[in-house]
Structure 1
Amino acid sequence: MALIDLIRKLFGRRPAPSQPAPFIPEAPAASEEAAPEAIAEAVTEPEAAADAGKTAEPEVTAAPEGLAEPDILQRSAARRDVFWAGVGDVEGDVLTHLISPGLTGGPAWPTTRQAYRVIRRAVGSIVMATDGLSDPFDAGGDTNGFNLELFVESTDLPADFAGTPGDVTPLGRSWMLELLQNVAGTVAGAGGIEGQLEHYGTLSMEVPGVSSSHAIKDQLPEGFVTADDAIGILIGGPAPDFTTLIEDMPLSPVRIVPVVLLTAAELGEIRAGDEETREAIVARLAAMPSRHRSDISRPSIV
């Protein structure tokens, strides 16, 4: 991807017409008989830990050269678990790819483990969050990966995709996962967006090619898709109703960054405006009952 196209995506500008739709292809299924929409699988935490080089009882040995130390990986995961437990009921299973996109030419996260955590809140909403963007890099370094994790929250995910407590599998077919995968891929492909968030506060991004998606095209109402087949999002605002910083991570503080779905009309206003326009949209959304939540039944503010 050309740098100018990436910048345009991050700051609300339309990508060059020649840029292909960035919807992430489905991960290979376990067998030819698997459902075509099976882009992820639910795994228990011990399995997820193993994917990142973690063990239930870490041996007192040095980590292999070029891999993050298991102890730091475990401590990073534990800090995230404690954080999310303060937000809601954390599901024991995570959603993760059958084969890591980082091994098949996709955007690379700090480790090959690319997982998604599900939290069910008492207010009736579901939070889906990346789980691994803040893992320490396999190649080493003194930061917790990209120093952030992304999340989407919604109160009106249909029951067919929301699942029930203890069962996250249906969420693997939801628009929430597909959207979060694409945003996470863009962030990882850019090498992180910490500097942009510090400078601008909230970023805007659009994802073209909705008709090429697997879940979004069927699950989002028409009012969220533009006439030219794109959806828009905000990254970093409005702020949620819980803290957004994990200060006690092993290597560096980690931001918890909201990803907020825009209606087509709201994206249109941002396209036609400037930084102040984006800030005004953020402020107006923050005043809505839904605030940072991506509730697809909410009215457009434009």
Structure 2
Amino acid sequence: MNYEEHFNQSAELRSKHWKSIGNLHSDVITHLINPSFMGGPEWPSTRQAFVMIDTPSGTILSSDGLSDPYNDFDTNPDNQGYNGVGCEFYIECNENLGSFDQIKSSWQFSVVYQAAQLAAGNPNIASIIEEHTYVSTELYHCTVPDSFLNEHGRVGVLLGLHSKQVPAELELSLETIRLVNVTLLTPEELAYITEKGSEARMEIARKLEALPDAGKSFLERKSVV
């Protein structure tokens, strides 16, 4: 298959996957002007989009394009074995986020958007998550309440938690990719990980996965440390 065929098949497989979980919106969130044209990170096929899935227990927002085949697939043998960076990033909410415009302006979208942009700038992200299982990081420009920001104005997230409704992997046309959960951390949890390192990150991950709403991000969640 050529680039276009792999692109279409991968898109169909992602859509089929999300439709098996909930109601996939026909609209996608994208840009009028691609940020990569203005110095932002370039996505594999240059297409940057996000999809919305309504489920009985809330809304899922996911990147849609990080696992597209690379746009030089037909001419670059080095990229012919990969579905992009090998990941898509999603955030689970315990509420229905409402209309398309409400979703675009939500703090949840700002968090998953910044996580996806971080991944687009780091094509080794899949291997990093595979090696460490859980990855914690800080994101800029997220519209969370100030109480979730650290002293540098950044918000902490944990990547890779197991979800109760989203499988961890999805087979696409070229390879099996990771579906990476993005979980909002409290400032206390972020500070604990920053101070104590990998053991603290694993401890918090275990505690979060033991919660009834494991994998979901919401502002009312109490800190586990």
Question: Does TM-score exceed 0.5, indicating one fold?
Answer: yes
Contact preservation (8 Å) 1:205, 1:232: yes
- Deviation of 1:230 (Å): 2.0
Cα shift readout 1:106-142 (whole Å, capped 9, x = no counterpart): 101001210000000112x110000000000001122
The residue that corresponds to 1:142 in the other structure is 81
Q: Describe the SS at the equivalent of 1:132.
A: coil
- Deviation of 1:171 (Å): 1.1
Question: Matched residue pairs, number?
Answer: 219
Matched, 1:72 2:11: no
Distance in 2, Cα, partners of 1:298 & 1:276: 22
The residue that corresponds to 2:40 in the other structure is 106
- Deviation of 1:241 (Å): 3.1
Distance in 2, Cα, partners of 1:261 & 1:131: 20
Cα shift readout 1:28-55 (whole Å, capped 9, x = no counterpart): xxxxxxxxxxxxxxxxxxxxxxxxxxxx
Distance in 2, Cα, partners of 1:69 & 1:184: 22
Q: Choose from 139, 148, 161 the match for 1:207.
A: 139
The residue that corresponds to 2:192 in the other structure is 269
Distance in 2, Cα, partners of 1:191 & 1:236: 16
- Deviation of 1:175 (Å): 1.3
Q: Describe the SS at the equivalent of 1:226.
A: coil
Contact preservation (8 Å) 1:119, 1:128: yes
Q: Describe the SS at the equivalent of 1:199.
A: helix
Superposition RMSD in Å? 1.7
Distance in 1, Cα, partners of 2:106 & 2:123: 26
- Deviation of 1:221 (Å): 3.6
Contact preservation (8 Å) 1:110, 1:146: yes
The residue that corresponds to 2:170 in the other structure is 246
Distance in 2, Cα, partners of 1:298 & 1:156: 13
Which has the higher Rg, Structure 1 or Structure 2?
A: 1
Change (3 A) 1:296 1:156: farther
Q: Which amino acid aligns with 1:228?
A: H
Q: What stretches of structure 1 of length at least 5 have no aligned partner? A: 1-61, 63-67
Q: How does 1:183-198 map to 2 (within 5 A)?
A: 183-198=115-130
Distance in 1, Cα, partners of 2:38 & 2:146: 33
Contact preservation (8 Å) 2:62, 2:90: yes
Matched, 1:230 2:154: yes
- Deviation of 1:276 (Å): 1.0
Give me the TM-score of the superposition, normalised by structure 1: 0.69
| Greater shift in the superposed pair: 236-245 or 108-117 | 236-245
Q: Describe the SS at the equivalent of 1:93.
A: coil
The residue that corresponds to 1:180 in the other structure is 112
Cα shift readout 1:89-108 (whole Å, capped 9, x = no counterpart): 10011000111112221101
Percent same amino acid at aligned positions? 31
Distance in 1, Cα, partners of 2:193 & 2:132: 15
Q: Describe the SS at the equivalent of 1:136.
A: coil
Q: What stretches of structure 2 of length at least 5 have no aligned partner? A: 74-79
Distance in 2, Cα, partners of 1:163 & 1:241: 20
